Amino acid sequence: MAQRNYVFTSESVSEGHPDKVCDRISDAIVDLFLGHDPYARVAVETLATTNQIVLAGEVRGPESITPDLMESVARHAIKDIGYEQEGFHWEKADVKVLVHAQSADIAVGVDAAGNKDEGAGDQGIMFGYACRETEALMPAPIFFAHGILKSLAEARHSGAAPQLGPDAKSQVSLAYENGKPVRATSVVVSTQHIDGLDQGEIREIVRPHVLNVLPEGWMCEDDFFYVNPTGRFVIGGPDGDAGLTGRKIIVDTYGGAAPHGGGAFSGKDPTKVDRSAAYAARYLAKNVVAADLATRCTIQLAYAIGVSRPLAVYIDTHGTGQVDEDKLSKVLQEMVDLSPRGIREHLGLNKPIYARTAAYGHFGRAPEADGGFSWERTDLVPGLRSAFA
């Protein structure tokens, strides 16, 4: 029997965290290519350290997208995050672009030809998850951890909190009773700040953002509210620690509350099922929960490189399901074509909509008018309810 009373913890990192800087740059490059050609192929990784940025990977797209243009996009991403520091500056950093053409061996597996449909860009397993813990149908610990950092970032960008720097981390531990979150047992926030502020001053800058994000009455005891536990956080971002694309995959998804297939999202165009199929799995799981067919739902998809159809579709409603899971799997696959092409077309993924996903989670966000976060729509709900009426 599953444990019903426990404490569960998730962490988040801000847009200025070294790894998130890299995710943002890589996704900005994806947007650059898709903005010029919706069917461009991109797999670009970024490394960042003290005033050094390296872009590496493979692409297939218009020749008009030059290394100089990619460098310009990288600098703009860093400027937008807010880095104008001595050790990491959008204008002064050295940017190396080591990007080459996509491998012909990969391209032939992905490309449609003759009677062969477009295949998956790689093998792999992807998971989607949804639950009733928050209105966004996300696990509460990661949802609130993201919310705290997003609130701090908005205050920094607006000028309401000029003392804060771009780099920050949060960690939220929630007590669960009878399987439901009821309060925070501890909250940890570490945020970069200007020199001259003491720990107590930073603590009081951070406190209202935590109180505004957590539900009323959920704040932990003051002894378990930790802000900048080391006492000082002036040197941050890639100057304080090197960053790499794809190192925060649990932050990007469900905070450890659900499985992760292992593949990162950022820097990849939507032919890569690491990204598109993970979005599709979330989309399906969210619609199952939104349709009241379960209060928790995990979906796994499995693919092979060059093969268009998923090898397996697994659904687990964790004992909360109101319908037969085998029938649910069949109905979902009838409603949504889970081939790489089918996912891209159904969710409208061949658009420059990815830089905005690089921080504060790929899931639990509101669908946007231009197609951003389309995988968060709940437009399958009427069909699902009708199928199981």
Higher pLDDT, 102 or 187: 187
pLDDT > 90: what percent of the chain? Answer: 90
Same domain (yes/no): 277, 364: yes
Share the mean pLDDT of the chain. 94
Of 185, 214, 235, which marks where a domain is finished?
235
- Please choose, from the candidates 283, 260, 279, 282, the residue with its C-alpha nearest in 3D space to the C-alpha of residue 270: 279
CA distance 28 to 345: 21
CB 40 within 8 Å of CB 64: no
Please compute the mean of the pLDDT values over residues 353-369 and round it to a whole number: 98
Q: Which tokens belong to 189?
A: 């926030």
Same domain (yes/no): 277, 211: no
CA distance 50 to 95: 11
- For every residue of 51-81, DSSP letters joined together read TEEEEEEEEES-TT--HHHHHHHHHHHHHHH
Per-residue pLDDT at 271 exceeds 50 = yes
Of 235, 264, 286, which marks where a domain is finished?
235
Per-residue pLDDT at 114 exceeds 80 = no
Same domain (yes/no): 283, 377: yes
Q: Which tokens belong to 38?
A: 């919706």
Higher pLDDT, 68 or 110: 68
Domain assignment present for residue 257? The answer is no
| Burial class of 346 by CB neighbour count within 10 A (0 to 12, 13 to 18, 19+) | buried
CB 376 within 8 Å of CB 369: no
Same domain (yes/no): 292, 376: yes
- At 119 the pLDDT is 67
Same domain (yes/no): 207, 227: yes
Same domain (yes/no): 167, 202: yes
Domain assignment present for residue 101? The answer is no
- At 1 the pLDDT is 42
Domain that holds residue 195: 6-13+140-235
Domain assignment present for residue 95? The answer is no
Same domain (yes/no): 217, 309: no
Of 235, 264, 282, which marks where a domain is finished?
235
pLDDT in tens, 240-263: 999 999 999 999 999 999 999 989
Q: What is the pTM of this model?
A: 0.94
Which segments are annotated as binding site? 17, 19, 45, 58, 102, 167-169, 232-233, 241, 247-248, 264, 268, 272
pLDDT in tens, 304-355: 988 888 999 999 999 999 999 999 999 999 999 999 999 999 999 999 999 9
| Burial class of 121 by CB neighbour count within 10 A (0 to 12, 13 to 18, 19+) | buried
- At 118 the pLDDT is 72
Q: Which tokens belong to 342?
A: 């089918």
- At 308 the pLDDT is 84
- Please choose, from the candidates 291, 238, 269, 277, the residue with its C-alpha nearest in 3D space to the C-alpha of residue 375: 277
Per-residue pLDDT at 3 exceeds 90 = no
Same domain (yes/no): 278, 348: yes
Domain assignment present for residue 243? The answer is no
CB 271 within 8 Å of CB 41: yes
105: confidence class by pLDDT, cuts 50, 70, 90? low
pLDDT in tens, 275-294: 999 999 999 999 999 999 99
Same domain (yes/no): 157, 222: yes
Please compute the mean of the pLDDT values over residues 349-364 and round it to a whole number: 98
CA distance 15 to 358: 7
Per-residue pLDDT at 64 exceeds 80 = yes
CA distance 244 to 313: 31
Which segments are annotated as binding site for Mg(2+)? 19
Please compute the mean of the pLDDT values over residues 169-193 and round it to a whole number: 97
Which segments are annotated as binding site for ATP? 17, 167-169, 232-233, 241, 247-248, 264, 268
Domain assignment present for residue 150? The answer is yes
- At 111 the pLDDT is 58
Domain assignment present for residue 118? The answer is no
How many domains are there within the chain?
2
CA distance 69 to 280: 31
CB 77 within 8 Å of CB 88: no
H-helix or E-strand spanning residue 299 = strand 296-303
Domain assignment present for residue 208? The answer is yes
Domain assignment present for residue 365? The answer is yes
Which CATH number is 324's domain given?
3.30.300.10
Per-residue pLDDT at 103 exceeds 80 = no
- At 254 the pLDDT is 98
- At 94 the pLDDT is 98
Same domain (yes/no): 128, 149: no
Residue 24 — left, alpha, or beta (φ > 0 → left; ψ -120 to 50 → alpha)?
Answer: alpha
Q: What positions carry a catalytic annotation? A: 17, 19-20, 45, 58, 169, 233, 241-242, 247-248, 268, 272, 274
Same domain (yes/no): 284, 212: no
